[in-house]
Structure 1
């Protein structure tokens, strides 16, 4: 069997932090083009979408009113092509877009070249805000650098030690700073990742925290996701020194007819697909 072309095997087994980081960096570098091609139209070039349900920050105001974002320093963790950061910049904020994947950040540059809007760099080749390639468990910023931090399905599902991300985000936030992040709703871990009726059947224990791993023919990890129960997420938030202000479980809107992986109108109207944690630094 040619291991360079064979499909990876999906298993449930332990995966360390270093192993997960290395594998997921390579996976996103390899799959960033396809991801942006498949989902770029839904995400927009400068739209802040929290989740496949389509909850938009312009309406939800989980970071606060758009008018209050002007002049605020905002860190986007797991930014991908930095669409959310571009929306923040358009509101007058000063975002920094951080991602583990070099290729995802190249798409942020591509959007800058294509748009040529007022938030782009002077030569139209870069966005008007920093792009930083780094691991979310070791943020390369001084303490108290940001007023706000956000993450729309970025970093947290893919790290073995999400509590380290929480502590790092708290460190770089100023007192009273808000930290808002969205992740796959923990309930989904127990269900098949299917958009149709099969995705409504419990197949695994919600309490089994063994990571989901895709491995190649030699058993090397090529992709990893890590499960946390709802209680685990709350304990990570509180243990890092945050106060949990709100927990948002977006309902599926009638206008959204798209299927995105395991997200669909069928499942979305019956079980939650996303959990958004709104936190404030103590």
Structure 2
């Protein structure tokens, strides 16, 4: 019997991409990777919990969203929506949104396992199907923000759907990590890339069609895109690697986490109405 041909390894590059390329690549990637992602990380994230990052920082402990009881909360790039189900248990009126049907399939499975069901919507975070001034809080833990070509447009869209005084909290890879190789071991301790190279990281096939896209912004870029959209930046949380935490998640590892940050969580607010 002839063995099936091995798929060629993706070509890695750094180049600009369009919104359409980014949208298509992200939808395809997360649809195809949903099963393996949940198999690898589902136990760490839980079915009903809001874990902000691979360092294990939990909303139950840090309360970055504040008291959500009786408020309308939107999670974008929700994945399996564990955070939304946890917030439902805190008394919030929750909606969970993701571009990927594959990830939302896991959200439904986790809802069935836990018995906690929240509304799930498949939609693009750059064009959300909600009226202006709808939500009191919008949040995401590594969803949407790193995977869009135009994160400035995403900030404006979040601002649009938030009510005056509403909070926008999002976790992303710490910008300093982009100067290092994506390696959890010793090789990942040496700076090799320019911090100022804002071209997205691309994995593409032999025809040049992107299959995975992740965008880099400097700290200053993040501050400027938030303020340009109209937000007030209230805090930036850089979770420290906790003692006794030995789990490796992609490039996150104890050896790197004890030396420099891997996650940045931006806490912003739409100004209250005058």
In which range does the TM-score fall when normalised by the shorter chain? over 0.9
What's the counterpart of residue 217 of structure 2?
228
1:100 corresponds to 2:102: no
Distance in structure 2 (CA, Å) of the matches to 1:3 and 1:23: 23
Q: Counterparts in 2 of 1:161-200, with a 5 A limit? A: 161-200=150-189
- Give ranges in structure 2 of 5+ residues lacking alignment: none
For the residue of structure 2 that corresponds to 1:222, the secondary structure is strand
Query: Does the residue aligned with 2:170 lie in a helix, a strand or coil?
Result: strand
CA contact (8 A) 2:238 2:264 kept: yes
Equivalenced residue count is: 268
Bigger mean CA deviation after superposition, 6-15 or 37-46: 6-15
Q: In 2, distance between residues paired with 1:3 and 1:250?
A: 43
Q: Is the 8 A contact 1:181 1:277 kept in 2?
A: yes
Q: Which runs of 5 or more residues in structure 1 are unaligned?
A: 120-126
CA deviation digits over 1:17-54, x for unaligned, max 9?
11011011000000000000100000000110000000
Is residue 2:268 matched to residue 1:268?
no
Q: Is the 8 A contact 2:48 2:114 kept in 1?
A: no
Q: 2:61 aligns with which of 59, 62, 66?
A: 59
User: Secondary structure of the equivalent of 2:265?
Assistant: strand
Provide the alpha-carbon RMSD of the alignment: 1.2
Match of 2:39 in 1: 37
Tell me the equivalent position of 1:134: 123
1:73 aligns to what?
72
- Alpha-carbon contact 1:3-1:217 (below 8 Å) kept: no
Q: Distance in 2 between matches of 1:69 and 1:135?
A: 24
Consecutive aligned runs of 4 or more in structure 1 exceeding 4 Å deviation: none
TM-score relative to the length of structure 2: 0.96
